[in-house]
Structures are given as structure tokens and as C-alpha cells.
């Protein structure tokens, strides 16, 4: 087991696409690290470059205390699970799981013993003679995991391994995989485009955009304090409200209303400055318009959409032609056409200058 360190790692593909742009990253030994970002931002390239399946155009990959930048994939002692599992269709489960051991020239009896041991941990013992075509998606996924585990590599790389599973199986696999990683303690880089998956599974995570890392932190840090509007817009099961604002003393003018400057920005803003005001719908308290019509510190508007989220509702308000969303607990949701207020929580709202 080993730490992974990337130093100014750069990958420019022939044709000129810069998929990784001088990326610095340190993943300590034993960490479950999630790499999150939209399609095309360079996640797969990053994993393949760590594994040695792509050659870096600049910078270095260090695994443990060894610079492996020019080492072939086989010499890096790293195991990777691909999005499509990449199982061999003509081999049964035993041979698929034992394949990396065969490459390492482990004797047949020993590699079958190890394959059987790992497969049993993953509940595959009754499927050992089947071929991938005779397995469900979830079973194939477990075979791919077993193959990685059997290698006893220094680090595991996962490229969106759950994206082919249906919603329910995906949730089960998430818990299962996390538990397994804890038990094994192997340094793991887990790539996903699903923010919920990253938040749920990671010890720490990075959010990537166009070949650069826009934020690194624990899931709680990234969720509570997104570093910029890109991360703010990407994280969260309902998107953060990001609203144009102008500083007016100790209030912000937002959508024609006045809201208090958030605690996080107190003393940091200049009067008249143009900023972006951010508040998650979960921290935006909705209330019906009171009889006296007062709306101090809140965004007053009209309800245009009410969406059922299960245990809560997402309410969309039109506030002087600006769209503002709030999450409302079950039972207190308004009706379309109602007049109401969204009062952002001062201790949770944020201000950005990069909008
Ligand atoms: P992600 O996994 O985040 O979707 P990729 O790492 O696959 O992103 O791709 C990053 C960028 O590099 C994209 O613009 C993609 O089109 C480009 N790219 C990926 N692989 C190649 C390749 N083999 N040749 C040229 N460009 C590539
Ligand atoms: Mg990819």
C-alpha cells in the first residue's frame, strides 16, 4: 500500500487537447479519494496516466517513494477497474479473477486458491464456472472487483465502476465497496461524474474542470463551502441558487430584495461591489407571505413550480423575474401561484467573486 503523488502532471493528446494541465495532487496511503467532474474534464486520462496506460507529457507520478513516470503499467503495482469491467468473455469467473496473477506468473494452484478466496468474500463462490455473458451486471461488477482485489496491488483505481448498475444496485454497491476499501486499507482513487456518489464514499475528494482541479477537501468542506461558482453549481442534489448581487452596506441587493451579508463574507465586501450570492435550496427557508406583507431579509416572490422530492418539496419562486429555489418540508409545501418568501440562512449563504 502506498501514497500517490502527482507533480505538475500534464497530458496533451496528439491533436492538441490538454486533458491534464499541470495538476498537483497528494493522496495519502489508505485514503479513499473521489475524483468528480463533468464528462470530458480529464478523469479517465488522470487514472490512465497514474496506471501508466497513458504517457504523461509533463510532470511526474510518484507511488510510495518511487517515481514511476517512465515505468510500464506492469511495473507500477496498481490495479484498475474500468467502466465496462473489461472482463474476458471466453474465460470463466475463476480465470477472469486469477488473470492478473497469471500475468505475474503465480502457479496455477495458488492463483486458483487466491481467486476462490477473494470471490467468496464477494459472494461469487457459486458462480465460479460461469462466463461473463451468464452473469448479471451486478455480478460482473463484483467479478471485476474480485480481479482487482486478488492482485493485492498497492493502489486501486476505479473508473466509474457503478455507472452501469441500476439505481438500487448502485446504492448497495456503494456501501459495499466503501466497506471493502476500509477493511483492505488500500489507497483508492474513485472516479465518478455523480456528485452524490463522491460525497457518500470519499474520505476526501477533488472537483475537476477542463484538466484542472477546482477544489480539494472532505465531502463536508466541498458541500458546505464550495470554493467557486463552478463547484457550487456542481455539488448538491438540487443546484445551489447563484444570484447576481450588489453590496449595499450590510445588505446585499438580490433580485430587487435586500438580504443580509452572509456571515462568511462579513467585513470582506466593498460597498457597491458586484458579486454572486449563493445559497442552497436546503438553506433557504420558505414561508407564506405574512398578513402585514413585511419581507425584511427575504426574497419575496410567487411560486411557479412545486416538485416532489419524497420527504420534502422543491419550490421554485419567481422573484422579480429571477428564479429562486427553496426546499420545503413535507406537509408545508405551497401551491403554484401562492405568494411567499425565501429567507436564506445567513450562516450558510456564501458570496463569490468569480461569477
Ligand atoms: P472524462 O473521463 O472526464 O470524461 P477524458 O479523460 O476521457 O475525460 O477526456 C478528457 C479530454 O481528452 C476530452 O476532451 C477528450 O475528448 C480528450 N481525449 C480523451 N482521450 C483522447 C485520445 N485518446 N485522443 C485525443 N483526445 C482524447
Ligand atoms: Mg471517463
ipTM, two decimals, is 0.99
- Segment 294-306, tens digit of pLDDT: 778 899 999 999 9
Q: Which protein residue's CA is at the shortest distance from atom 19 of ligand 1? A: 45
Ligand in closest contact with the CA of 208: 1
Residue found under cell 429571477: 322
Q: For the chain, give every domain's residue range.
A: 4-234, 241-352
If you average pLDDT over residues 130-150, what whole number do you get? Answer: 89
Q: Global pTM?
A: 0.91
How far apart are the CA of 39 and the centre of ligand 2, in A? 7
Res 31 pLDDT > 80: yes
Q: Which of 21, 37, 40, 234 to mutate to test the pocket of ligand 1 (most atoms within 8 A of CB)?
A: 40
Check if 147 has its Cβ closer than 6 Å to any atom of ligand 1. Answer: no
Any idea of the CA torsion for 81, 84, 87, 92, to the nearest 10 degrees?
Answer: 120
If you average pLDDT over residues 267-289, what whole number do you get? Answer: 95
- Segment 155-204, tens digit of pLDDT: 999 999 888 778 888 888 888 889 889 988 999 999 999 999 999 999 99
Q: Which fold has domain 4-234?
A: Rossmann fold (3.40.50)
How far apart are the CA of 105 and the centre of ligand 2, in A? 31
Check if 37 has its Cβ closer than 6 Å to any atom of ligand 1. Answer: yes
- pLDDT band at residue 355 using 50, 70 and 90 as cut-offs: low
Phi, psi of 179 (to 5 degrees): -65, -45
**187: nearest Cα among 115, 97, 79:** 79
Res 253 pLDDT > 70: yes
Ligand in closest contact with the CA of 207: 1
**158: nearest Cα among 136, 132, 188:** 188
C-alpha span between 157 and 244 (Å, rounded): 40
Check if 44 has its Cβ closer than 6 Å to any atom of ligand 1. Answer: yes
Q: Which fold has domain 241-352?
A: OB fold (Dihydrolipoamide Acetyltransferase, E2P) (2.40.50)
Amino acid at each position: 500500500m502506498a501514497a500517490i503523488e502527482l507533480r505538475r502532471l500534464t497530458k496533451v493528446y496528439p491533436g492538441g487537447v490538454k486533458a491534464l494541465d499541470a495538476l498537483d495532487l497528494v493522496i495519502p496511503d489508505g485514503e479513499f479519494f473521489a475524483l468528480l467532474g463533468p464528462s470530458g474534464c480529464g478523469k479517465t486520462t488522470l487514472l490512465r496516466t497514474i496506471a501508466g496506460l497513458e504517457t504523461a507529457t509533463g510532470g511526474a507520478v510518484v507511488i510510495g517513494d518511487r517515481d514511476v513516470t517512465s515505468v510500464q503499467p506492469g511495473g507500477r503495482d496498481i490495479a484498475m477497474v474500468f467502466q465496462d469491467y473489461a472482463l474476458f468473455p471466453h474465460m470463466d469467473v475463476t480465470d477472469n479473477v486469477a488473470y492478473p496473477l497469471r500475468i505475474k506468473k503465480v502457479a496455477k494452484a495458488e492463483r486458483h486458491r487466491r481467486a476462490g478466496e477473494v470471490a467468496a468474500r464477494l459472494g461469487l463462490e457459486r458462480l465460479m464456472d460461469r462466463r461473463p455473458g451468464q452473469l448479471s451486471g451486478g455480478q460482473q461488477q463484483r467479478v471485476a472487483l474480485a480481479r482487482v482485489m486478488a492482485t493485492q496491488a498497492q493502489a486501486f483505481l476505479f473508473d466509474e465502476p457503478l455507472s452501469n448498475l441500476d439505481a438500487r444496485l448502485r446504492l448497495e454497491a456503494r456501501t459495499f465497496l466503501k466497506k471493502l476499501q476500509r477493511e483492505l486499507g488500500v489507497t483508492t482513487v474513485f472516479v465518478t461524474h455523480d456528485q452524490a456518489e463522491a460525497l457518500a464514499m470519499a474520505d476526501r475528494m477533488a472537483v475537476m474542470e477542463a484538466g484542472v482541479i477546482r477544489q480539494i477537501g472532505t465531502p463536508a468542506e466541498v458541500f458546505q463551502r464550495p470554493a467557486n461558482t463552478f463547484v457550487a453549481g456542481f455539488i448538491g442534489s438540487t443546484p445551489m441558487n447563484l444570484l447576481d448581487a450588489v453590496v449595499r452596506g450590510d445588505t446585499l441587493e438580490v433580485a430587487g430584495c435586500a438580504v443580509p451579508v452572509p456571515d462568511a463574507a462579513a467585513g470582506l465586501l466593498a460597498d457597491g461591489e458586484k458579486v454572486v450570492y449563493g445559497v442552497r435550496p436546503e438553506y433557504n427557508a420558505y414561508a407564506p407571505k405574512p398578513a402585514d406583507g413585511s419581507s425584511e431579509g427575504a426574497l419575496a416572490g410567487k411560486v411557479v413550480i412545486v416538485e416532489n422530492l419524497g420527504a420534502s418539496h422543491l419550490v421554485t419562486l419567481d422573484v422579480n423575474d429571477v428564479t429562486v429555489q427553496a426546499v420545503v418540508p413535507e406537509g408545508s409545501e405551497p401551491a403554484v401561484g401562492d405568494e411567499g418568501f425565501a429567507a436564506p440562512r445567513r450562516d450558510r449563504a456564501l458570496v463569490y467573486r468569480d461569477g
